[in-house]
Structures are given as C-alpha cells and as structure tokens.
Amino acid sequence: MKGISTVVATILMLMITIALAGVAYMYINGVFTTQTAVNLGINAMTFCNTTHITATVENTGTSLSGAVTVTAYSSGGAIISSSCLPAITGIASGSVGTCAIARGTFTGSGYYAASAVSGASSTPRTPIYCSA
C-alpha cells in the first residue's frame, strides 16, 4: 500500500494552515464576538435629588435604538414611575440619552433601581443610591 505523494501532502498542509489563519483573523476582528444590535444600560452618571432621579442610558450596541422607556423602582421593587421626561426617542451606538423621573411619594434616602427598554430587548435593573 502506498502513501500520498509529497505534493498532495504539501497542498493539504497549506490549505489547513490558510484555513486556520482565516479563522484566527475573523476571531481577532470580532466576527464571532460582536455585540448585539442594541444594548442598553443605565450609565454611572445616573443620580438623584429630592424630587427626581436623572437617568442616563447608554447604548453600547452597534445600532440606533428605538424609543427608550426608563422605569424606576423603589427598594421594595414597586414601580415609582415609567414616565421619564424628556422622552428618549432613540440613542445612537456609543451615545447616551438622559431623562428625569419624578420620585413622587418615594422620597428619602435609600436604594432605588432603574432599567431601560427599547423594543423587545431589556436590561437588568441597575441600583441607584439616593442620599436625599
């Protein structure tokens, strides 16, 4: 029984090397690890005063978001408000949008939470500490 010729073996090894180099190139350039189109999160610049929680929402995704709804929650999980003004109509990739939520009867110090939603995707609640 004969083995494969050295020419065929060389061509096969060259093809395997090129394929591995191509996979490594795509991985390094982010083809396999790209972020989702819209990825919203409450930014660290979110703060509160005695009457409002000022929410800063950041889009770390790769596409423009649709209209963004920001909801604030009390420390017990009750919804304070889903009315964030001025309304955020869209956030470009890598940008932020800001709006204010009235705290209403949930004044005082303690932990609150906020989440941002655009379309069907959502982000987890982010804790906010209000000292007033």
Band of residue 16 on the pLDDT scale cut at 50, 70, 90: very high
Kindly state the tokens that stand for 22. Answer: 């191509």
Model pTM? 0.66
Do residues 19 and 46 share a domain? no
Do residues 15 and 63 share a domain? no
d(CA 67, CA 70): 10
**What pLDDT, on a 0 to 100 scale, did the predictor assign at position 59?**
87
Residue 111 structural domain: 40-130
Dihedral pair phi/psi, residue 81, rounded to 5°? -165, 150
**What pLDDT, on a 0 to 100 scale, did the predictor assign at position 21?**
93
d(CA 71, CA 46): 13
Percent helix, percent strand, percent coil in the chain, to nearest 5: 15, 35, 45
**What pLDDT, on a 0 to 100 scale, did the predictor assign at position 129?**
83
Question: Does pLDDT of 109 surpass 80?
Answer: no
Do residues 59 and 87 share a domain? yes
DSSP secondary structure string for all residues of 47-92: EE-SSEEEEEEEE-SSS----BEEEEE-TTS-EEES-EES-B----
Do residues 17 and 73 share a domain? no
Band of residue 17 on the pLDDT scale cut at 50, 70, 90: very high
**What pLDDT, on a 0 to 100 scale, did the predictor assign at position 1?**
53
Do residues 30 and 44 share a domain? no
Do residues 62 and 8 share a domain? no
Question: Does pLDDT of 121 surpass 90?
Answer: no
50-105: per-residue pLDDT in tens?
Answer: 888 888 888 888 888 888 888 888 777 788 887 888 988 888 888 999 999 887 76
Do 11 and 5 touch, CB atoms closer than 8 A? no
The residues, any chain, with a CB within 8 Å of residue 12's CB and separated by 6 or more, are 4
Between 98 and 37, the higher pLDDT residue: 98
Do residues 77 and 104 share a domain? yes
- Residues forming a β-bridge with 116: 70
- Domain containing 60 — which CATH number? 2.60.40.10
**What pLDDT, on a 0 to 100 scale, did the predictor assign at position 15?**
96
**What pLDDT, on a 0 to 100 scale, did the predictor assign at position 11?**
93
Do residues 57 and 115 share a domain? yes
Mean pLDDT over residues 27-31, rounded? 72
Do residues 16 and 46 share a domain? no
| SS3 category, 124 | coil
Do residues 84 and 104 share a domain? yes
Q: Considering its fold, how many domains does the chain have in total?
A: 2
